[in-house]
Amino acid sequence: MKNKFPPSKSKISYFNHRHIFLLILFFVFTINASAQQKTITEKFKKETVLKIDSLLQVNYIFPDKAKLIGNHLKAAYKEGKFKKYDLLDSFAVALTKEVRFINNDKHLGIWPKFIPPVEEKKDLNKDSYEIYLHNYTDNRKLANGFREAKLIDSNVGYIKYNNFIHETDQTIDSYMRLLENADAIIIDLRNNGGGSPKTVQYLCSYFFKDPILLNTLYFRKDNFTEEFWVKEVNGKKLIDVPLFIITSPKTFSGAEEFSYNMQTQKRATLVGETTGGGANPGEPYEINSRLEIFVPTGTGINPITKTNWEGIGVIPEYKTTPDMAYDKAVELAQKTAFDYRNKKAVESKNLYLELQKTVDQQTKPLNEGDYAKMDQQIFNAVKKLTESNLYKEDDIDALASQYTKTKPFITESILKSNTELYPKSPIAFLKYGDLLEQNGKKSNAIIALKKSVEIATEIKAPYLEGLTKRYESVLKGK
């Protein structure tokens, strides 16, 4: 059964980028943080342990494991395992170790809330703009998770993607547009710690045509599931372009789902090292005013394997050392890019010959019925060319020009097909209108040129003035 997230679940993620940022602050700036912390009391430790147990019993995806983890944590406290930890950061590390003891769920984690030093906090509070600027700068540095995009020799596209940040579809569209003509693509997820399942779904959707089921997330609360299907994207789908994914032990959570989805659907080849092994999405909960915990509240169910990569990781087809992963991926991609180009060249030639055969069979139409039949046959042949992604609007124009002298009615039919296949192109309607006027069909030419001006106006084309003058000149000469 397919259900939607209730409002309370709308921010659920494998691992939110904000919490990755907090972890970085926690681990990188431990010394500074320690200097700012006051020692914690035994009462604070006991209350923290009990609160964590309570949060797990209510929210953790596996109730049986929650009970075992809670009992283990309370036993660890009674045994005095936390007595030597007097500072908040070291206590949080010790707590994380113990809550992972039972089933090593790497999404489970406790860390201090990030609180600026008193003097820094005081300065920030002087002016709300400073707070805004601080957050704005941090968000911009994330660059929506993308760190690099380039074309490598042999027309291989490369993307380094470090986080599946929520609501970044437009950024994904931009990067995919840069690489839409590549003959093979490498997506480097070696430092990708996860993110939003919906962002994973969107990037996956670029590589599949049909609406197949990619993954299902089951959540304990309300006993509901969310299915993630291939969806439409705002760009060119790359349904058969060879795809390679580079992985490492740092490839985690949502990045693992992307890798696992592609591997189980046999859509990509994985290169590198086995991933981290975290398949349970969740959300953060406040333990107290100084600590918070990330609790997995759901788990993934792959439609093919009926399980997931939790505790195992996603195992690449080509295992390499960390230093060799990139080079191996490039080597494989360059070889398949060569094969892909040859394959597309053959397809292109065959489709062109099919159009040529269709054209050769056409004689000058005698009546409207003949025209309609010919237009449909030409349209079907031209549509195959465009659907192959081998021919674009300009390529079809060039094909049409071949028949201007020998079979002008074929040129007209092909240009008409272009307006139907590219209904938002002012230029397609301009060229069709020009030919209609040339062939003495002024009334039809006016209709086509008027449509060209309307589309150009809608999209605010820079050449709108020129189109308008062209349209008006035909009107005057009517």
List, as one string, the DSSP characters of 33-94: HHHHPPPPPHHHHHHHHHHHHHHHHHH-S-HHHHHHHHHHHHHHHHTTTTTT--SHHHHHHH
Residue 443 belongs to domain with CATH number: 1.25.40.10
Task: Check whether residue 92 and residue 236 sit in a common domain.
Answer: no
Q: Which residues contact 36 (CB under 8 A, 6 or more apart)?
A: 117
Could you read off the pLDDT of 129-146 as tens digits, one per residue? 777 776 777 767 777 888
Residues 262 and 278 in one domain: yes
State whether 360 and 397 are in the same domain. Answer: yes
Does residue 215 lie in a domain region?
yes
Is 1 part of any domain? no
CATH for 240:
3.90.226.10
Phi/psi of residue 226, nearest 5 degrees? -130, 125
Residue 352's identity, in one-letter code, is: Y
Do the domain assignments include residue 90? Answer: yes
415 and 432 in contact (C-beta within 8 Å)?
A: yes
Q: How far apart are CA 386 and CA 197, in angstroms?
A: 32
What pTM, to 2 d.p., does this model score?
0.77
The pLDDT assigned to 32 comes to: 42
The amino acid at residue 404 is T
> Is it the case that residue 5 has pLDDT exceeding 60?
no
Q: Name, in order, each residue with C-beta under 8 angstroms of 471's C-beta and a sequence gap of 6 or more.
A: 446, 449, 450, 452, 453
Lowest mean pLDDT among 40-44, 106-110, 127-131, 463-467: 127-131
In a shared domain, residues 359 and 414: yes
Instruction: Specify which residues 158 forms β-bridges with.
Output: 150, 186
Q: Dihedral through CA 460, CA 463, CA 466, CA 471, nearest 10?
A: -50
Whether the per-residue pLDDT at 2 is higher than 80: the answer is no
Co-location of 116 and 187 in the same domain: no
37 and 179 inside one domain? no
**Number of structural domains the chain divides into:** 3
- Reported as a single tens digit per residue, the pLDDT across 320-348 is 999 999 999 999 999 999 999 999 889 88
* Measured distance CA(413)–CA(394) in Å, rounded: 15
Evaluate whether residue 129 is within a structural domain.
yes
What is the radius of gyration, based on Cα positions, of the chain? 30
Q: How far is CA 420 from CA 353, 415, 429, in A?
A: 22, 9, 9
Q: How many residues are present in the chain?
A: 478
Q: How do beta strands 318-319 and 269-272 pair?
A: parallel
- Asked if 105 and 170 sit in the same domain, the reply is no
Using DSSP, state whether 330 is helix, strand or coil: helix
**Nearest CA-CA partner of 446 in 459, 426, 432:** 432
Tell me the pLDDT band of 386, cut-offs 50, 70 and 90. Answer: confident
Same domain? For 318 and 346 the reply is no
Residue 289 lies in a domain: no
- Matching residue, tokens 């040529």: 356
Among the candidates 135, 153, 179, a domain finishes at 135
Domain membership flag for residue 167:
yes
Per-residue confidence (pLDDT) for residue 145, from 0 to 100: 85
Is there a single domain that holds both residue 125 and residue 202? no
The torsion angle over the Cα atoms of residues 374, 377, 381 and 382, rounded to 10 degrees, is 50
Q: How confident is the model at residue 475 (pLDDT cuts 50, 70, 90)?
A: confident
Average pLDDT over residues 46-62: 97
Percent of the chain with pLDDT over 90: 71
Residue 254 near residue 15 (C-beta atoms within 8 A): yes
Q: Are residues 131 and 73 in the same domain?
A: yes
12 and 68 inside one domain: yes
Q: Is residue 290 included in any domain, yes or no?
A: no
When pLDDT is cut at 50, 70 and 90, the band that residue 15 belongs to is low
- Residue ranges making up the domain that contains 447: 342-476
Q: What is the four-CA torsion angle of 434, 437, 443, 444, rounded to 10 degrees?
A: -50
**168 occurs within a structural domain:** yes
Q: Residue 213: pLDDT above 90? A: yes
Same domain, 239 and 376: no
Residue 117 has pLDDT above 80, yes or no: no
Q: Is the dihedral of CA 146, 234, 334, 274 positive or negative?
A: positive
